[in-house]
Each structure stands twice: as structure tokens, then as C-alpha cells.
Amino acid sequence: MKRSSEKLPAAAAVLVLVAVAIIAYFIFKGNAASASSASGIINAHEHIQSVEEAEKLVRVMDATNVSGTVLLGSPKQTIYFSGGFNGYDENNGELLKIKKAYPGRFYAFCAISPDDKDKLEKLKKCVAKGGDGVKLYSGHTLFYTKRLDDKDMYPVYEYIERKRLPLVWHVNPYHYQAEFEKVLQDFPGMTVICPHFCMSSSNLTKLRHLFSTYPNLYTDISFGYSPYMAAGLERVSKNTKGFKAIFRDYGDRILFGTDMVVTDYELKSEEWMINITGCYKAMLEKGKYRCFLINKTLNGLGINESSLDKVYRRNFEGVMGKVMR
């Protein structure tokens, strides 16, 4: 009996060590999962129809190593290809619901219209409810109704600059470059993300001028609607030297984005969205790649890991780090 009782403390110690090891394993596993999530891609350009489509998008994000997505307030025209510049207030509300329902996965950028007499107050309320940034379509040829440097918009720009909110501003510089630059000059502290290579993927000299002149100007790599995306990927494929130079010189101001416009349309399946995201990633990562939208091999940029990390995540983190909370 004595010998048996002497073994009990040793056996208990072994059991304690095993328990500690098991607990440590699960803590490590949990931390590893968190670290993996924290190092995922930030998709800085996306639209969504409603909260009903959020679960589908989250599954796509998980399948493509996207840890966070910027949702941009959208009018009916963007979501349904009809309806004009209406319904954006309601869509802003959907984005805030999605952000609340999926903590840590989404950023909500509130859309406003220059023609809305209550635009500044609506923006302030949206930000107070959890909005992380601003979306303007006023430089889009479909939605252009007044000059970008119209003084009626200056209180909005002043608020955006003061709060250091990132502004995703669709601007076509082929039509509105002078007035766009006037706003950038008058509000040099305003962080502006002019998407789709600032609509200048066919004129990198123009893009280079904008980058070199305005240090708070950013862009993203998205091209939008599938035919535009296919044409954009082909432009990159035909001019990899020029694009590589842009990424080399201004790689700290380029963001990842997909602009798929997530809706309940049956052709926008999870598989389709995974493939779209894969095409953009391949364009950045590979020397040669295939994209399901184009029936040929394309030339990619083969960007190095350090530069990819900037485009995929660190540049956006820097943008959001400026925001006054």
C-alpha cells in the first residue's frame, strides 16, 4: 500500500503536465488562427446588394485568404444596372448591418450625393453609426452632375480631411482632371483612393503625374464589370514593364480590390467570385497565368513578397491608421 501511495503524486504530476500541454496546444492553435487571419488580404473595393449576400461573401473571403473587405455604399445603378443614382442611403444602412453582424471582417464606406442638400449631415450620421470612410461617384461620367470643385462640396471635403476619413472617389481624369486636381490642391491632407488605377491604366504617364504630385493619392487594382476587367488584365499583360515600374515607384499607394458587386444574381456564384479574386491575385503574383475570362495565357507582374504584402494589406492599414476616432 505504501508503494502504491508513493506513485500517486507522480501520476498526478504526469496528468497535470498532459493537461497543460493540451491547453497550451489549443491556445497556440487559437493564436495561430488569429495570426493567420491578421495577415490575410484586405479587399479595399467591393459593393454588396444587402445583408442577405454577406454570408456568401464571407465564405468567398475565407476561401481566398481575404481577412477584411471594404464595402462601398452603392446606388441602384451599381447594384442592378438600372435605377439611377438612388437607393444609396438604404445601401449604406445595409453595410452598417453587415459590419455589425460580422465583427472585424468588414469596413463600411458611406456613399453620398453632391446633389443632396443634407449630404454632410447624412455623412456625419453614417460615420457616427460606424462608417469607416466615404464613397463618391461624382467623377463617374454616368453620375457627373456638377464640377468636382464646386464650392457646395467644400464643407464635405473639409469634414473628410479633418476627420482623416479615406475617400474612395471614382474619377475619370480624361474628363475631369483639372477640377479633380483643384480639389486635391485645396485639400492636400485628404486621403483619396481613386480606384481602377485612377482610370488611367491605358495612360501610365497620367497616373505617374498624379502620384508624383499628390502624396495622399492612392489607387486600387480593380477594373470592375467583367468585360472591363478582361480588357484591363490584357492591358497589364501587354505593358508589364510599365506597370512594374509603377509598382516599384508607388507600390506603397496601391491597394488590392476586386469590385465584383456581390448580388443575388445567379451567375455571381461563390465559384465565380473565387475565380475573379484568383485572377487578380495571379496578375500580381505570377509571371504567366490564366484567367477564366480570357482564352489565352497572360503576362503577370510577378511582384515580390515584400511588395505584395504592401498591396495586400499594409498600405490599407496605413490608410486606416490615419483616421481620427
CATH number at residue 271: 3.20.20.140
Per-residue pLDDT tens digits for 187-215: 999 999 999 999 999 999 999 999 999 99
Q: Do residues 15 and 159 both lie within one domain?
A: no
Q: Do residues 108 and 28 both lie within one domain?
A: no
When pLDDT is cut at 50, 70 and 90, the band that residue 323 belongs to is confident
pLDDT value at 11 more than 50: no
In this prediction, residues 15-24 reach a mean pLDDT of 34
pLDDT value at 150 more than 80: yes
Beta bridge partners of residue 294, listed in sequence order: 291
Which contacts (CB < 8 Å, 24+ apart) does range 59-63 have?
A: 59/270, 60/270, 60/273, 60/274, 60/277, 61/105, 63/270, 63/274
Q: Do residues 32 and 64 both lie within one domain?
A: no
Q: Domain for residue 276, yes or no?
A: yes
Per-residue pLDDT tens digits for 220-267: 999 999 999 999 999 999 999 999 999 999 999 999 999 999 999 999
Q: Domain for residue 33, yes or no?
A: yes
Q: Do residues 47 and 175 both lie within one domain?
A: yes
Q: Domain for residue 138, yes or no?
A: yes
DSSP 112: -
Entry field: residues in the chain: 325
Q: Do residues 175 and 257 both lie within one domain?
A: yes
Residues 6+ apart with CB under 8 A from 21: none
Q: Do residues 293 and 193 both lie within one domain?
A: yes
pLDDT (0 to 100) of residue 102:
98
Q: Domain for residue 325, yes or no?
A: no
In this prediction, residues 57-79 reach a mean pLDDT of 98
Question: How many domains, the chain?
Answer: 2
Q: Do residues 216 and 232 both lie within one domain?
A: yes
Q: Domain for residue 221, yes or no?
A: yes
In this prediction, residues 296-302 reach a mean pLDDT of 98
Q: Domain for residue 120, yes or no?
A: yes
In this prediction, residues 259-282 reach a mean pLDDT of 97
pLDDT value at 3 more than 70: no
Q: Do residues 67 and 151 both lie within one domain?
A: yes
Q: Domain for residue 13, yes or no?
A: yes
Q: Domain for residue 274, yes or no?
A: yes
pLDDT value at 33 more than 70: no
Q: Do residues 30 and 69 both lie within one domain?
A: no
Domain with 6 in it = 1-38
Q: Do residues 28 and 129 both lie within one domain?
A: no
Q: Do residues 17 and 72 both lie within one domain?
A: no
CA distances, 160 to each of 53, 103, 105, 109, 322 (Å): 29, 24, 23, 12, 12
Q: Do residues 25 and 93 both lie within one domain?
A: no
Query: Helix 240-250 vs helix 204-213: angle between axes, to the nearest 10 degrees?
Result: 10
Question: pLDDT higher for 59 or 10?
Answer: 59
Q: What 3-state class would DSSP assign to 197? A: helix
pLDDT (0 to 100) of residue 210:
98
